[in-house]
Amino acid sequence: MSVHLVLIDALNLIRRIYAVQERPFLLNNELAENTKQQVLFNTEKACEQALRNIVEQLQPTHALAVFDSQAPCWRYDIYPDYKKGRKKMPEHLADKLADIQDRFMKHFVDSLVSETDEADDLIATLAIKVALRGQNVTIVSTDKCFLSLLNPNIKVYDYFNRRYLDESYVLNKFSVKPNKLMDLWTLTGDNTNKIPGVAGIGQVTASELLNKYGSVKSLVNATDLKKNISEKLSQHNEQISLSRKLLTLKIDIPLGFNLKDIRLPGQNALAST
C-alpha cells in the first residue's frame, strides 16, 4: 500500500490560529476576561476546520497531530537559555489543548504528546522512519527547522499560505540547499530559539562559505580561509559544537506505535463527521 503520512506540528498550527482569533479583541496587549471563552471557542472551531482543510487538501492515508512536551526538553539541560524570552502560551489556551485534541480525534486524527521530547524531534523521527521505507511524508508547519529534512519523500507544507516550502524556496531564502541548512544555522545562530552562532558571520557570508567548502567541518579544517574568518571560527569552537547539538533534530526516538495505528478511514467517513 502506498503511504502518505501527514504530520501536523500541532502547536505551530494552534498558536497561529489563536493569534488570529485573539487579535481583534486585544486591548493594551491583554485579553479581557469576559471575551476569553469566546476567543477560545472560536479557536477550537478554527483548528477543527483547519484540520479538515489539511486532510482534504493533502489527501493523506495516515495522519498525526504532534504536540510538544509540557516539561522542558533535553535542550534546556545543555543550554538553559534555549528559547529564552519567547512568549509563553497563554494558560487559558494551554488548558484547552485537550479539547482541541478531542476535536481532532472526531476526525480520526490522533495526537501524540510526549512527556520529554519536543514535537520537532518526534516529527523528524517519524518522517525519517517512513521516508526510509520509500513512503511519502508531508510535514504541516511554518517552522524552518523541518526544511533541513526535505528530500524526494519528505515535503513541508505551509498551511497558512497554502504552499509547499520546497528546495527552490530554501535556495531563494537561505542561498543553500536543504542539506546545508543545519550548517548554515550553526554559523549564523537561530534567533527564534535563542541559539547563538559565530559572532560576525551572517547569512550571506555563511552561505558563501558553505557553498564553497561544503560543511562546517570542512570549513573548520580549511587552510585557505581569510584570517578574520579563521579567527572567528577558532574563537567560537565550543559554541559551534553546542549550537550544532541544539539545532540537530533527533531521529531515533522510540515511538511505541505502528503506522496502522494512525491510518485514516476513507474520505467519505471524514466528510460525514
Same domain, 17 and 117: yes
Same domain, 54 and 107: yes
CATH number of the domain within which 112 lies: 3.40.50.1010
**Given its phi and psi angles, is residue 223 left (phi above 0), alpha (psi -120 to 50 degrees) or beta?**
alpha
Residue 132's CB: how many other CB atoms inside 10 A? 10
Same domain, 202 and 264: no
Same domain, 8 and 122: yes
Q: On the CB side of 266, how many CA atoms lie within 13 Å of its CA?
A: 3
Q: What is the pLDDT of residue 67?
A: 96
Q: What is the pLDDT of residue 70?
A: 80
Same domain, 14 and 138: yes
Q: State the maximum Cα–Cα separation within the chain, in Å, rounded to a whole number.
A: 66
Same domain, 102 and 212: no
Q: How many domains, the chain? A: 2
Each residue's pLDDT expressed in tens, for the chain with a length of 273 residues:
699 999 999 999 999 999 999 999 988 788 888 899 999 999 999 999 999 999 999 999 999 999 998 888 899 999 999 999 888 899 999 999 999 999 999 999 999 998 889 999 999 999 999 999 999 999 999 999 999 999 999 999 999 999 999 999 999 999 999 999 999 999 999 999 999 999 999 999 999 999 999 999 999 899 999 999 999 999 999 999 999 999 999 999 998 889 999 999 974 334 333
User: What gap in Å lies between CA 113 and CA 73, rounded to an integer?
Assistant: 13
Q: What is the pLDDT of residue 270?
A: 41
Same domain, 17 and 63: yes
Q: What is the pLDDT of residue 27?
A: 80
Same domain, 215 and 114: no
User: What gap in Å lies between CA 92 and CA 255, rounded to an integer?
Assistant: 29
Same domain, 66 and 52: yes
Q: What is the pLDDT of residue 267?
A: 47
> Given CA atoms 32, 101, 52, 273 in this order, what sign does their dihedral have?
negative
CATH number of the domain within which 208 lies: 1.10.150.20
Same domain, 111 and 157: yes
Same domain, 10 and 140: yes
User: What gap in Å lies between CA 185 and CA 166, rounded to an integer?
Assistant: 18
Same domain, 152 and 260: yes
Q: Which of 108, 112, 120 is nearest to 54 (CA)?
A: 108
Residue 184's CB: how many other CB atoms inside 10 A? 25
Find out whether 143 and 120 touch, Cβ atoms under 8 Å.
yes
Instruction: Domain of residue 234: give its range.
Output: 171-247
